[in-house]
Amino acid sequence: MVFHVLTLFPEMIEGCMQTSITGRAIEKGLLTLDVRNIRDYTLDKHGKVDDYTYGGGAGMLMQAQPVYDAWNSIPGKGIRTIYLTPQGRTFDQKMAADFASEEELIFLCGHYEGIDERVLEETVTDYVSIGDYVLTGGELPAMVMMDTISRLLPGVLHNDDSADTESFQNGLLEYPQYSRPEEWHGKKVPAILLSGDHKKVDEWRLEQSEKRTQERRPDLYEAYMEQKRLYEEQHPPKRRKK
Ligand code: ADE
């Protein structure tokens, strides 16, 4: 996977992405990070990339020319271009899986009051928000997306299993987990987890996931139960022959 990032703050992206699991994925060649500073593409001799908005209003807008030239400098055609904006579709695990199937992605990070509409029309394929709140720029949302997408790529996590089993993969939150010691602050690890009976452990974990989702995310639980109902309707239990 190649992540191209267009930003006015390349050091923010590089510092974060070269750390921890994504950093290791870059070292292993599973991920390539290509960060381009939009300011390097301005034709303005003072390095200016923003200007006042037509029609008035507070704040500055990023101009079309440097953004377009930065975008155009990326080799290859037809690469999905994501613009991070509170006006986009809300990012979720399903969207992450869809993006993870691409070979390259471009993230366009805006600052100030946003970017001239005309260049967005010519470059952006996907408008994405990470939630209903307003940040100062698109860098943090781009990093949230790249982190989420990275861990779905084959080989990025040590244990390929863990990307499948955890929260959201089956529409449920993850079950509680425990490590050594067996007792801490008077609290014991649930006995079933020490039993060695894998079938029972799996059943217990599913039960815990359902309970936790119902308590903490009733909206997700509702959707999960609806899926379950549909599945059971389409796969009724077979009657035994007499
Ligand atoms: N830029 C500013 N706020 C944002 C948000 N919530 N999601 C995506 N991009 C943004």
Mean pLDDT in residue range 186-200: 98
Helix (H) or strand (E) holding 183: strand 183-184
Domain CATH code at residue 74: 3.40.1280.10
Q: How many domains does the chain have?
A: 2
Residues 22, 140: one domain?
yes
Size of the chain in residues: 242
Tokens standing for 164?
A: 């499948």
CA of 52 to the centre of ligand 1 (A): 21
Query: Quick check: 135 and 81 in contact, CB under 8 A?
Result: no
| pLDDT tens digits, 108-158 | 999 878 999 999 999 999 999 999 999 999 999 999 999 999 999 999 998
Sequence-distant (6+) residues with CB within 8 A of 155 are 25, 28, 30
Q: Which of 150, 180, 201 is the last residue of a domain?
A: 150
Q: Say if ligand 1 is within 6 A of residue 144 CB.
A: no
Residues 143, 173: one domain?
no
Q: Say if ligand 1 is within 6 A of residue 115 CB.
A: no
Going by alpha carbons, the residue nearest to atom 7 of ligand 1 is 129
CA of 126 to the centre of ligand 1 (A): 13
CA of 136 to the centre of ligand 1 (A): 8
* Residue 161, domain member (yes or no): no
At residue 164, the pLDDT reads 60
Residues 177, 106: one domain?
no
Q: Which domain holds residue 9?
A: 2-150
* Residue 47, domain member (yes or no): yes
Q: Which of 115, 150, 185 is the last residue of a domain?
A: 150
| pLDDT tens digits, 10-26 | 999 999 999 999 999 99
Cis amide prior to 66 (ω within 30 degrees): no
* Residue 26, domain member (yes or no): yes
* Residue 132, domain member (yes or no): yes
